[in-house]
Amino acid sequence: MPKIAFLMDPIETVSVKKDSTLAMIAAAQQRGLEVFYLQQDGLVLSAGVVTALTRALKLRDDFCATLDPNTAGDDWYALGDEQAVALAEMDIVMMRKDPPFDMEYIYTTYLLERAEAEGVMVVNRPSALRDCNEKLFATLFRQCCPELIVSRRMDQLKAFHKQHANVVFKKLDGMGGASIFRVMEQDPNLSVVLETLTNSGREQIMGQVYLPEIVDGDKRILLINGEPVPYALARIPSAGETRGNLAAGGRGEGRPLTDRDQWIAQQIGPELKRRGLMFVGIDVIGDYLTEINVTCPTCIRELNEQFGLDIAGDLIDTCLQQLENTQV
């Protein structure tokens, strides 16, 4: 039976109500895979071999079947004793460590890449995790994006603001709606916002034309091996907010994909497959792609609940099919 390891945040911090990684763990267990739990500090390189300090992981059977948070209790999972095994003994490693995307994250991708070279399927591919900044990667698809600028120079950023009058500025490594500022025409805070975000001109940031369609939701669209799930989760800002992120207080409302959503997915899907980005979440406001999230996409549970889907199951099945194809 295939072995799958989940490299993730401490399991005791997982939200039993909405965590997407938990849905993947349940899907793997339901399919009879051997499931293992792994954290970043459990990766060790010695004598040319990457060893993983893993623990067998099992969800309680009744909870695994439903993921009903009301029945989770305190014993919803059980961990075995820690064991040191060559990471190459795993068939699949799901990289589900939440950002920040820092140097420790990058070092982890280097170690995972060593296992990948020995035949382990790593989701998502470690090199792609390094290469595909979630905001900059989207700009490769110019036909899908709104007007934007990436710079750390005040004169360039201010000129973009003068041209468009209503602009959203954000850090390139921000997450969960943090460090996002809408700056309107004649806003006296423009200079201080830019100084703060660029660290006084030392860090690149993005400026993006404000999209008024944000009031109808910032849509999260999930793609599995380049193919979109047929429904999006529109994250609608709370009153007085311009950020739809659930972490920033937005609420999630499921919707079928529009023709434009499908078109955007078709534009980027082949490149995602080429780079080994098996599970991706793109953000769409109105008609425009704003981000391509590759590190630890979420919203599986919300869409499953609203539309009776099994997104995590589809993902695990796709991984197993690819694994079978490589072993033929």
Question: What are the residue numbers of the active site?
Answer: 135, 170, 220, 235, 243, 283, 291, 293
**Chain CA centroid to CA 304, Å:** 17
Question: Could you tell me which residues are beta bridge partners of residue 183?
Answer: 167
C-alpha span between 197 and 139 (Å, rounded): 20
Range 8-19 burial, b when 16+ CB lie within 10 A, else e: beebeebebebb
Triad 167, 168, 174: Cα angle to 5°: 160
Q: Which amino acid is at 213?
A: E
C-alpha span between 54 and 75 (Å, rounded): 20
Cis amide linkage into residue 228, ω under 30° from 0: no
Using alpha carbons, select from 300, 295, 298 the residue that is nearest to residue 95: 295
Contact indicator for 307, 30 with CB cutoff of 8 Å: no
Six token digits for residue 157: 């950023």
C-alpha span between 23 and 34 (Å, rounded): 15
Angstrom CA distances, 150 to 42, 159, 310, stand at 37, 12, 38
Range 174-184 burial, b when 16+ CB lie within 10 A, else e: bbebebbbbbe
Angstrom CA distances, 163 to 6, 41, 170, 191, 208, stand at 47, 48, 18, 16, 12
